[in-house]
C-alpha cells in the first residue's frame, strides 16, 4: 500500500547561485513536474519574497536575516509534508548552513554558471545596473558569493540544458519520493 499524500515526507531543495545562473527557471520547471505528480509543492523565490518584504536590505546582515527567515518558513512547510523548492542567491555559507540545520531533509543545489556567463545572460539588466553604479553590493561583483563547499548537487547551466538540469535534480530526489 502506498503512502497517502499526508504521510509522504517533505523536503527542501535549496537552489543557490549567482543572479542569472538559472535558479528560478530550473525551480519553476521542477515545481511543475512535481506538482503534476500530485505532490504538495511550495515555491519560495528571492525576487518574489523581496517584493513581499520590501525593506529587506542587501548588506551582509540583512541578507543573512532574510535567508534565515525564509529558511525557517521552508522548514515549517517541510514539517507538514510539503516539498519546498527555494531559489535564492543566498551568497553566504553560514546562512545556508543555518537553513540546513533547520531542515530535516535539505538538498543544496549549486546552480553554477560563471560570472561572465551570468553577465552575458543578464535577463533582468542587473549586472548592467551594478557595473554603472546604479546597484550597490551586487553579489559576484562588489559583494562575494561563497560557493557551496559540499552541495548535494552541482548543476552546470553553462554546459547543460534546463531539461538536463531538472533531470539531474529529479534523479537525486527520487530517494525522498
Q: Which positions are annotated as active-site residues?
A: 90
Continuous segment of H or E residues that includes residue 155: strand 153-156
Largest CA-CA distance found in the chain, in angstroms, rounded:
60
Q: Which three cell numbers stand for residue 81?
A: 509534508
CA nearest neighbour of 49 among 25, 35, 30, 68: 68
CB atoms within 10 A of CB 33: 15
CA nearest neighbour of 40 among 31, 48, 49: 31
CA angle 50, 140, 137 (to 5 degrees): 55
Amino acid at each position: 500500500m502506498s503512502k497517502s499524500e499526508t504521510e509522504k515526507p517533505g523536503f527542501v531543495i535549496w537552489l543557490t547561485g549567482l543572479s542569472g545562473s538559472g535558479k528560478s527557471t530550473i525551480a519553476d520547471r521542477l515545481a511543475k513536474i512535481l506538482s503534476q505528480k500530485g505532490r504538495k509543492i511550495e515555491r519560495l523565490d528571492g525576487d518574489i519574497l523581496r517584493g513581499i518584504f520590501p525593506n529587506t536590505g542587501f548588506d551582509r546582515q540583512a541578507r543573512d536575516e532574510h535567508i534565515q527567515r525564509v529558511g525557517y518558513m521552508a522548514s515549517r512547510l517541510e514539517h507538514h509534508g510539503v516539498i519546498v523548492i527555494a531559489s535564492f542567491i543566498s551568497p553566504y555559507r553560514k546562512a545556508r548552513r543555518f537553513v540546513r540545520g533547520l531542515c530535516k531533509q535539505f538538498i543544496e543545489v549549486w546552480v553554477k554558471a560563471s560570472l561572465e556567463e551570468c553577465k552575458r545572460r543578464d535577463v533582468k539588466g542587473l549586472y548592467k545596473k551594478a557595473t554603472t553604479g546604479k546597484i550597490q553590493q551586487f553579489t559576484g561583483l562588489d559583494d562575494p558569493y561563497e560557493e557551496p563547499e559540499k552541495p548535494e548537487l552541482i548543476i552546470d547551466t553553462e554546459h547543460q540544458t534546463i531539461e538536463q538540469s531538472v533531470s539531474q535534480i529529479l534523479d537525486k530526489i527520487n530517494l525522498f519520493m
